[in-house]
Chains A and B, each alone.
Chain A
């Protein structure tokens, strides 16, 4: 039994190190073109189902687990949903207001389930009075989706935080 425990711990360490190596390899990859959210929407039709790198400010992170975030472009109305998926896992509330560079596949919404209107889903069920700011973000996101003919989102693979140089 002791041997089993030792083997288990060694296997975990091996997997953990394997993951780190993968991360290091990813950061060594040549730099691809990084699009702003505004640029992404301009080229969205040709980039659909392709890998993209987009940067923007995180304007909202799903409060229930961080499974998705919304990146803001030049204003609140220009935003795109990013699904964390299995590779990213989850975004955190601490990333709100941070500038992220996210790599993923640009997807076009084809089903109701893909649409994800946060105002219509968990936001309204919340009984928590303190969530008024989050509800406001849900409303803005929902309104920005109302008038568009096609809705896009990104299936995220990886991200990095863009640190601004302090004055």
Chain B
């Protein structure tokens, strides 16, 4: 049949075409599923430290900068201020620190981007502007087409009518059950 042949060709070519985005959607989907277990975009490193600081009333940018450099020489200072609780809040490149001015005890949080996954998450969530939103829509439609056209490729006892629909139904029932129970 001509339609089946056309479907096979389109399924094949769009299938090749969509592999990259399918991996992006799948892999970043796993990270985003676990967003309450860990940060999907960044690795977070915490360092607790104690530094010497002059009196908080005479504290300058240079004092804070020097104190943080004594903890980690790679730290790039941005700015600081005294927060409502009287602690020094310091913004650094890729992180922040909070220091108790009374005893110099502090905690530094440093963020390291999960390079590839960070970009994949951005693409997945279409949070890089309007053009990508539409391109991403097209990719999603192609992905749906590849999935649906796949149903009609095979004939015979392993075709959709005799075999495929069982598996397709199972694949629909699993999320459906969860949706009915938890939503």
Contact = CB atoms under 8 A, between A and B. Distances in A.
A89 B44 contact: no
Contacts of A84: 127
A19 B131 contact: yes
Nearest to B36: A125
A77 B91 CA distance: 17
Interface string A131-149: 1110010001000000000
Interface in B38-62: 38-42, 44-46
Given A1-B13, A97-B79, A98-B78, A133 B98 contact: yes
Nearest to A134: B109
Interface stretch (A37-45, A46-54, A59-67): A59-67
Contact of A128 (B37, B98, B128, B130): B37
Contacts of B175: none
Contacts of A132: 107
A136 to B, nearest CB: 7
Given A1-B13, A64-B35, A19 B94 contact: no
A127 interface: yes
Interface in B118-132: 121-122, 125, 127-131
Contacts of A116: none
Interface string A1-44: 10000000000100110110000000000000000000000000
Interface residues on A, range: 35 or more
A86 interface: yes
Contacts of B36: 122, 125-128
A2 to B, nearest CB: 11
A140 B111 contact: no
A79 B84 CA distance: 13
Interface in B147-173: none
B91 A96 contact: yes
Interface in B76-120: 78-79, 81, 83-84, 91-96, 98, 107, 109, 111
Given A63-B39, A86-B130, 11 more contacts: A12-B135, A86-B133, A89-B122, A93-B42, A94-B94, A94-B111, A127-B36, A128-B38, A130-B44, A133-B109, A136-B98
16 contacts: A15-B131, A19-B129, A19-B131, A57-B79, A63-B39, A64-B35, A76-B81, A84-B127, A86-B133, A87-B130, A90-B128, A93-B41, A94-B93, A96-B96, A125-B36, A133-B96
Interface of B: 13, 35-42, 44-46, 78-79, 81, 83-84, 91-96, 98, 107, 109, 111, 121-122, 125, 127-131, 133, 135
